[in-house]
A and B are shown apart, each in its own frame.
Chain A
Amino acid sequence: MSSEAIIKLENVWRTYQLGKTQVYALRGLSLEISPGAFVTIMGPSGSGKSTLLNMIGCLDFPTRGKVYLKGKNISEMSESQLAQFRGKILGFVFQEFNLLPNLSALENVILPMVFQKVPLAERKEKAQSILEKVGLKERIFHQPSELSGGERQRVALARAFANDPEVVIADEPTGNLDSVTGKMIMETLTDFHKKQGRTMVVVTHDPKIANYAEEIISIKDGQIVENHSTAQEYLWKT
């Protein structure tokens, strides 16, 4: 399986220096995620799940150990290779939506394609079609401040899908939304996963969200405490 894994962590440590104290966010964590999997990472706050997600997303790097994305060690990649990975291979969805406030919904979705140098006409057409798919056809020229939380997160989803990423990473994607809107977001993510066969890695502490996953990884104090191949198994235990 290891040769096929799209994401692989080998004995990953991540420490921070906070004043004089050394904080251990991850302690020798190892993990493999196969292509096309839908994985949920669960754990209490401070357990290191966001740090883990940042590593998978090439936003942060291990203090010790190795993180492989599509077989490549992220610590050995150049800045421009990393940018390419973040933009092309990965799609990000954040808890706080993280849209650029000065740009319209359409421009926000276009932006990742700009960074990947997709031709002008193509990126505009594609952005429009994705926004249409997430049900925002009428709102494409609105600024984020003119959109509701759910609409913003849908724009963020559209942005994450813009470059047809192989892996979509979501950090508490429903954390700031009510349950109905949250459900809609999760359904969109699941839909993308099922129809396009993309890999999903979702961080959450909401068991209901975990329900959508095929695999649940539970971490605590920077280590994997349980790894369940089915969501039901995990939910049964909780």
Chain B
Amino acid sequence: MEDLKEYFNIAIKNIKTRTLRSFLTILGIVIGVFLIISLLSLSEGLKSTINQQLQAMGGEMIMVMPGADMFSSMIFGGAKLQKEDIEAIQKAKGVDIVIGYSYTGTIARYEGESKQVAIAGLGPWKEALDIFSVFQGWSLRKGRWPSKGNQILIGQQVADKIFSEKITAGSKITIKGKKFEATGILNSLGSQQDDSMVYMNMDVYQDLTGEKRGTASYAMAKIEKGADENVVAEAIEESLKETRKRRLGTDEADFSVITSEKMGELAGNILGIIQIVIIGFASIAILVGGIGITNSMFTSVRERTREIGIMKAIGATNSAILSIFLIEAGIIGILGGIGGLLLGSVLAKVINYYAQTDPSFYFTATVSPWMIVFALVFSLFIGCLAGFLPARHAAKLKPVDALRRHE
């Protein structure tokens, strides 16, 4: 062990004598590890945010979307839930209230300025407001809840950012030629998308957009107290299938019933894939950093061939030379790991700072202990792996040839 200490000493001095090159080599690893840590910490943060939101649904809300594949309908839209569908959901055992939700993009005019905004219709309006207040954390920053047909609710982003003039409670806005009163301004809902919406009564929305009455882009069902969400979800599915069969003569299920549990699972799966992709990309970055180490170490071995010859002449075994160079590569690797970890943690801190001060900033970042361990072990491993070939090359040099080398 005592000789290892001395080898460390030699390795550190070697690294120090080529400060710039060592720094650049370390930087290669720093970037790789930084990439891994920052991306992973973001996706961890995203995971916990999603979990929080799902917990807010608290196992009491079930979503029904048209289309058998929830993602294609989310992305491409188009399909609608029909009036009969919504009635079928309402009829299912264990369902308390069904809220329809539709949205589209349109042009709004405010203070002589026209901008693209997203409008959403919710209905029935009063129940929707109750449910959204409880489960989505809706609260008013200013004004009061709209109750009449020409009154609308403005998301925080729409109020503050979209128009050059800020929208305040009581402002008049024209949407599709119809005048509305911005009765209430919402506090941030914690999601950029939700904050960029203008909310109105479903009936008003459908009159405005020409959407068929009674339909909806998707529906949310609140289940009765004490009911099991999975049982209710099955009941909804059955009820919908029955309606379809009666109406269209097919029992093909072209709708998705999603419980918070299922949503959590789906989100978990997606995040899992995202994390794998991230690790894949970041691994490439680290691999490049590793090649940097190999390159730097080979150069170092070349430059120090004579020194290797000297060490062998005074009694160094092959394994001693191998150890010295492996330690050197390992130190470079782990320094890169520490650097990347520090930078990644600083980024996570900055993100969290913004998340705390600006509620519209949706992301949080979490650096978990396993990430720290992973980053350090991985960078050490990469360093040693990258340094192995040059180190072995150094160890196998014949002393007489090595000594003959003049720089």
Contacts and interface: CB of A to CB of B under 8 A. Distances in A.
Is B a genuine binding partner of A? yes
Interface of A: 54, 57, 59-60, 79-80, 83-84, 86-88, 92, 94, 98-103, 107, 110-112, 114-117, 119-120, 159, 163
A98 B314 CA distance: 11
Contacts of B319: 80
B3 interface: yes
Contacts of A87: 314-316
B318 interface: yes
Given A60-B400, A100-B307, A115-B320, A120 B2 contact: yes
Interface residues of B, number: 26
Given A100-B307, A114-B3, A86 B314 contact: yes
B311 interface: yes
A193 B310 CA distance: 23
B313 A92 contact: yes
B14 interface: yes
Contacts of A114: 2-3, 6
12 contacts: A59-B400, A79-B317, A87-B314, A92-B313, A98-B313, A100-B307, A102-B16, A111-B314, A115-B314, A115-B315, A117-B3, A159-B314
B126 interface: no
Given A60-B400, A102-B14, A103-B13, A110 B315 contact: no
Given A86-B314, A101-B17, 6 more contacts: A80-B317, A80-B319, A83-B312, A100-B10, A111-B311, A120-B5
A110 B311 CA distance: 12
A119 B403 contact: no
B114 interface: no
B106 interface: no
A204 to B, nearest CB: 18
A71 B316 CA distance: 22
Contacts of B5: 120
Contacts, number: 76
A99 B315 CA distance: 14
Nearest to A99: B310
A92 B313 CA distance: 7
B104 interface: no
A100 B403 CA distance: 12
Interface in B369-407: 399-400, 403
Interface in B7-22: 9-10, 13-14, 16-17
Contact of A79 (B9, B311, B318): B318
Contacts of A117: 2-3
A16 to B, nearest CB: 11
B314 A92 contact: yes
Nearest to B6: A114
A11 B248 CA distance: 105
Contact of A115 (B316, B399, B403): B316
Nearest to A169: B313
Contacts of B313: 57, 59, 86, 92, 98
Contacts of A120: 2, 5
A36 B316 CA distance: 26
A20 B319 CA distance: 35
B395 to A, nearest CB: 9
A86 B2 contact: no
A98 B9 CA distance: 19
The list of the 8 closest CB pairs from A to B, nearest first, reads A87-B315, A115-B315, A102-B13, A83-B317, A60-B400, A112-B314, A59-B400, A114-B6
Given A86-B315, A112-B315, A115-B317, A100 B2 contact: no
Nearest to A57: B313
Nearest to B406: A96
A163 B17 CA distance: 28
A98 B312 contact: no
A163 B10 CA distance: 20
A156 B9 CA distance: 20
Interface string B314-332: 1111111000000000000
Nearest to A163: B315
Contacts of A98: 306, 310, 313, 403
Contacts of A115: 3, 311, 314-317, 320
Nearest to B320: A115
